[in-house]
Amino acid sequence: MVKILDKKTNITTDYQLDLTGTYQVKNLIGVIAALKLITENGFIINENDIQKGLSNVIKLTGLLGRWQTISEKPLVICDTGHNEDGIKEVLHNLSLYSYKQLHFVLGVVNDKDISSILKLLPKEAVYYFTKASVPRALPESELKLKAEEFELNGNAFATVKDALNAAKEKSKANDLIFVGGSTFVVADVLAI
């Protein structure tokens, strides 16, 4: 449940979101502002329809991979955050969990400067460098070499499936496995 205060009317409205991750509150504020502008321009949007839509985004749109839990034992979470701001949100959300060891299945695309995200990633995590099944994917061996420049250590795996399986094999009951770095990596993990 998310509470949003309209500062003009001083009215607080509760919203139930099916999308998780703390950054969804920021997104919700933008959605509410856009809906307000639309209604001010003559469109009629019922509050019940807004509530229904926001609580069923995944069902209505098919949007997946936004701070999505894909397994409980072990705890496996994926997110499509793939740039500096997205990785900051991922790290903030990870900080809200208790776990003994973080396992990070990471893949990126080959046409972006990844230094800005690699410098943010936790050095104490165990990394499983991989590449998504798309032509834009940076080869896992290149990602591993680049990540080592930032003291991020782990092994390289040819597929997201292989990387996730290795993370599951090495993880213990109190560990957390995160999968991300690219929308394509998340798509591959959700297809498993």
3-state secondary structure of 127: strand
Quick one: pLDDT at residue 109? 96
Residues 15 and 106 in one domain: no
> Cis omega before residue 139 (within 30°)?
no
Within this chain, do residues 93 and 53 fall inside the same structural domain, yes or no?
no
Task: Look up residue 64 and give its DSSP letter.
Answer: -
What confidence tens digit (pLDDT) does each residue in 126-181 have? Answer: 999 999 999 999 999 999 999 999 999 999 999 999 999 999 999 998 999 999 99
Asked if pLDDT for residue 24 goes beyond 90, the answer is no
Q: Give yes or no: residues 138 and 162 share one domain.
A: yes
Residues spanned by the domain of 185: 68-191
Helix axes 84-94, 23-40, angle to 10 degrees: 120
From 17, 41, 61, give the residue that closes a domain. 61
63 confidence band (pLDDT: 50, 70, 90): confident
Measured in degrees and rounded to the nearest 5, phi and psi for residue 129 equal -75, 135
Q: Are residues 47 and 135 in the same domain?
A: no
Query: Do residues 159 and 73 both lie within one domain?
Result: yes
Query: How many domains are there within the chain?
Result: 2
